[in-house]
Structure 1
């Protein structure tokens, strides 16, 4: 057996291990089910749910097709390598193809770290100046610039949705909306306290200062809530109004009580003169209550994803940026470091993000 064939078989074994962990048959079954649902006439009646299922379908297809195609590519290299043991020129070509397959494997393996519920979506990044006064506010401004440069490198759309400037320089806080493939997946690696050590440009004595800023990252959840009320989910009771309104309202069942069976919410209305009007008003109240319930779910999910509130101060940092007396950026979670501080502050963050993401799943 040639070395090329042996290397290809070793890569194929690694691919098969990952395929087994991913349960690709189960994912294919889910794809088939979602495709059947998407083909139904009323699939887009609930657009919010349809968008969620469409995104899930696209993600599953990419995963299954990616690993299937990669295995097929490596399998073809194995078959050709076994036939080309005495053909050095063909083996050299197969080595190049195998190297490409190896790089594709690394990319596919890394994407496993971006498989969270919200990883493929957009993100909201909030930066808050911590301990250090004007120094910290300037540091928050530097971090904002760093993330905006990172977005530009990836051609991600970004916008400042909220900003409070500092008194002398920088920003007290700023929130960025970042839109792009896996924006949240990557940026979640930046959540935490960032510490800067430098000679202060605001200190006439040119002394060294330490500044802190906190970065919060949450997914940009869809708040365009569409409330669907199915007639089969309603229990409607009518009764005579007890309020003012003359003989008509007292002798007829004009009041309305509606129970929403899935949630147990009960609303009633008896202020209007007709049953139809009271029913319409009760449904309006019910829709408002269901909307509020869904908004509470979104708010709770945002709070969960935001995590515990940690003060931006000594001992809480995830990454140090040292500009004096030497140049070093070091992530304290993964131990990844570089002396090229200028590149990092100019948005070169992928290495830090990727190593943290790989660390999260044990790669």
Structure 2
């Protein structure tokens, strides 16, 4: 089992600590998943008094990065006349995704416009996937850590 500390913060005045660790082990998420809750941590003073503190534990699986693949069947590609040769060549590119994302790009060459429009579309789709993933993680944390 390999554990590495990602982040450790402490505030002595507020008596608050935050520690994030990554544990690499086979099936570690399945084994530690049920430890997600608020644990009671007894602290003992020098006088022998016991103070009850709590520690909130959230066990989250590490999320993989994802590649964005744009399926040409899901895209409507139109070209229109634009740029310095407005009367001769269709250089502007208009991409419309099935999700309703529309990207219109006008530069000097149609090939540059097409590449740039696809790059912007992949960026927008990546942002959407990232927001969905973050929302899923937020919901998992809320389900795991319930304040009693």
Same fold (TM over 0.5): yes
CA–CA distance in 2 between the matches of 1:206 and 1:255?
A: 77
TM value normalised by structure 2: 0.85
Which blocks of at least 5 consecutive residues in structure 2 are unaligned? none
Report Cα offsets for 1:166-210 as digits up to 9, x if no partner.
Answer: 438x97101111122221112111111111234324xxx332211
More helix by share: 1
Q: Does 1:200 align with 2:9?
A: no
Q: Does 1:239 align with 2:105?
A: no
* CA RMSD of superposed structures (Å): 2.2
CA shift at 1:267, angstroms?
Answer: 1.3
5 Å matches for 1:35-50? Answer: none
Q: Does 1:217 align with 2:78?
A: no
CA–CA distance in 1 between the matches of 2:90 and 2:77?
A: 12
More strand by share: 2
SS at match of 2:59: strand
Report Cα offsets for 1:51-104 as digits up to 9, x if no partner.
Answer: xxxxxxxxxxxxxxxxxxxxxxxxxxxxxxxxxxxxxxxxxxxxxxxxxxxxxx
Structure with the greater alpha carbon radius of gyration: 1
Which blocks of at least 5 consecutive residues in structure 1 are unaligned? 1-155, 317-363
CA shift at 1:310, angstroms?
Answer: 4.0
1:257 matched to which residue of 2? Answer: 94
SS at match of 2:125: helix
Aligned length: 146
CA shift at 1:251, angstroms?
Answer: 4.0
Report Cα offsets for 1:250-278 as digits up to 9, x if no partner.
Answer: 542111111223x33221101x1111111
1:281 matched to which residue of 2? Answer: 116
CA shift at 1:165, angstroms?
Answer: 2.8
1:299 matched to which residue of 2? Answer: 134
TM value normalised by structure 1: 0.37
